[in-house]
Structure 1
Amino acid sequence: MGNFKGVADTLFIPLEARIYVSKKYPEYFYDEKALSLEKYIADDIIQKKSSEYSFMASVARYHNMDDMVRTYIAQNGTCNVIYLGAGLETAYFRLNNKQAFFYEIDLPEVIHSRRIVLGDNENESLIGGNAFDVVWAAHIDKALPTLLLASGVFQYFKQEKIIKLIHNVRDTFDNAEFIFDATNQIGIKYANAYVRKTGNTDAQMYFYINDSTEFARQTGTVLLEERPFFTQARIMLAKRLKLYTRIAMKVADDKKRTIIVHLKL
């Protein structure tokens, strides 16, 4: 896949989703930088095997997280915004905010490919390393208000590893919040089936949350918000979406199959 040769296949699922929705529903979500990366994708296997709902589910994470990041920066001024497992995330370009310091953290080979295609940018630092090993914090001003985000990342790891990371981040930063997406136990089964359908049989998902309040208690944090994925999409796009998509969105929201969790560490 062009300059992305060797990069994990799972990175392309959210990228293809951002491209698809940017073309079809730009009033809900538009990612100019993602559209510019379309030329690096050599085939359309993901798009052929994906439903409108699965693309909307992927993009709804970014739509909501972008909104939450904008609010955080507006409230805190100069701050850190850290994307763990950044992959080919293009939020830096969508947000276009020079007040915050952005950090993109991922495995060295992913950061290498990212740098080739997206370059080095003002107020953005690319750090190659294991997102779960908090040694990357040595590159960051830990006294600044800090917002950490993990989008489509935690599902691939066991709960013990997620809890340990949150504890380590809490102990490392003076003033930090954490935003990440999660599914419940039923939702993770559907997610695994979808990834297998796209041709990736190795990306098994494990992590889920059935009770956000209980998870906050387990991690010694404060639950600031539990946000369903599709509230705004269902209002903004309404009957423009396919019937199945609308039904699946309502079920996901009502049964909390897909949520965004916002913790104060």
Structure 2
Amino acid sequence: MEKLTGVPETMLWTLHNRANEAMRSDGVIQDPKAVEIYEAIEYDYQRCFGKADPVHAMRSIAFDSEIRAFMKKHPSGVVVNLGEGLETQRFRLADLQTTWYTIDLPKKLGNRAPLDARLRIVEPL
């Protein structure tokens, strides 16, 4: 994988924190897709980001809860995820069976595509 900097590197930082929390036996989040992606990317997470922090896992849980509440009120609702990066929310909430749209920078979508067989990239207008 090419050297990542700036915005694309932040997607690895949040993944690092979520995946490490998911790998803990007492972790606050269950996120096997984050662990799968984390392990598939050759990157020196420890050197670049240091010890993992549960903050992104806790934030993800809060957003998951809000989406579940919204979908309970609006069963045919649609989720539009802006700046998704390597977030794995739609896998954690797959039981909702809703339509998910991801809007992100082309470089970030290009980095994600090989790791996510369900991602279909539509070129910008």
Matched with 2:24 is 24
Q: Using the alignment, how far apart are the partners of 1:82 and 1:15 within structure 2?
A: 20
Q: For 1:85-123, what per-residue CA distance to the aligned partner results, in whole angstroms no more than 9, with x for missing partners? A: 1111110101013532101111112112212111225xx
Distance 1:67 1:41, change over 3 A: farther
Gaps of 5+ in 1: 130-134, 136-265
Q: Using the alignment, how far apart are the partners of 2:80 and 2:113 within structure 1?
A: 17
One-letter amino acid matched to 1:63: I
Q: For 1:180-215, what per-residue CA distance to the aligned partner results, in whole angstroms no more than 9, with x for missing partners? A: xxxxxxxxxxxxxxxxxxxxxxxxxxxxxxxxxxxx
RMSD over aligned Cα atoms: 2.3
Matched with 2:40 is 39
- Indicate whether 1:103 and 2:101 are aligned: yes
Q: Using the alignment, how far apart are the partners of 1:74 and 1:26 within structure 2?
A: 28
Q: Using the alignment, how far apart are the partners of 2:11 and 2:30 within structure 1?
A: 19
Q: Using the alignment, how far apart are the partners of 1:42 and 1:36 within structure 2?
A: 14
Distance 1:128 1:66, change over 3 A: farther
**Structure 1 stretches of at least 4 aligned residues deviating more than 6 Å after TM superposition:** none
One-letter amino acid matched to 2:106: P
Q: Using the alignment, how far apart are the partners of 1:34 and 1:24 within structure 2?
A: 13
Instruction: Give the count of matched residue pairs.
Output: 120
Matched position secondary structure for 1:97: helix
Matched with 1:72 is 70
Contact 1:77–1:99, Cα closer than 8 Å, also in 2: no
Report which of the two structures shows the higher radius of gyration computed on alpha carbons: 1
Q: Using the alignment, how far apart are the partners of 1:27 and 1:11 within structure 2?
A: 20
Matched with 1:10 is 10
Contact 1:82–1:105, Cα closer than 8 Å, also in 2: yes
Q: Using the alignment, how far apart are the partners of 1:27 and 1:56 within structure 2?
A: 8
TM-score, normalised with respect to structure 2? 0.81
Q: Using the alignment, how far apart are the partners of 2:26 and 2:76 within structure 1?
A: 29
Q: Map 1:210-249 onto structure 2 (within 5 A).
A: none
TM-score, normalised with respect to structure 1? 0.41
Contact 1:105–1:127, Cα closer than 8 Å, also in 2: no
Which fold has the larger relative contact order, with Cα–Cα distance below 8 Å and residues 6 or more apart in sequence? 2
More strand by share: 1
One-letter amino acid matched to 1:61: R
Q: For 1:69-92, what per-residue CA distance to the aligned partner results, in whole angstroms no more than 9, with x for missing partners? A: 111111101111011011111101
Matched position secondary structure for 1:81: strand
One-letter amino acid matched to 1:117: L
Q: Map 1:1-265 onto structure 2 (within 5 A).
A: 2=1, 5=2, 7=4, 8-26=8-26, 28-37=28-37, 38-44=39-45, 45-47=47-49, 49-50=50-51, 55-120=53-118, 126-127=121-122
One-letter amino acid matched to 2:17: A
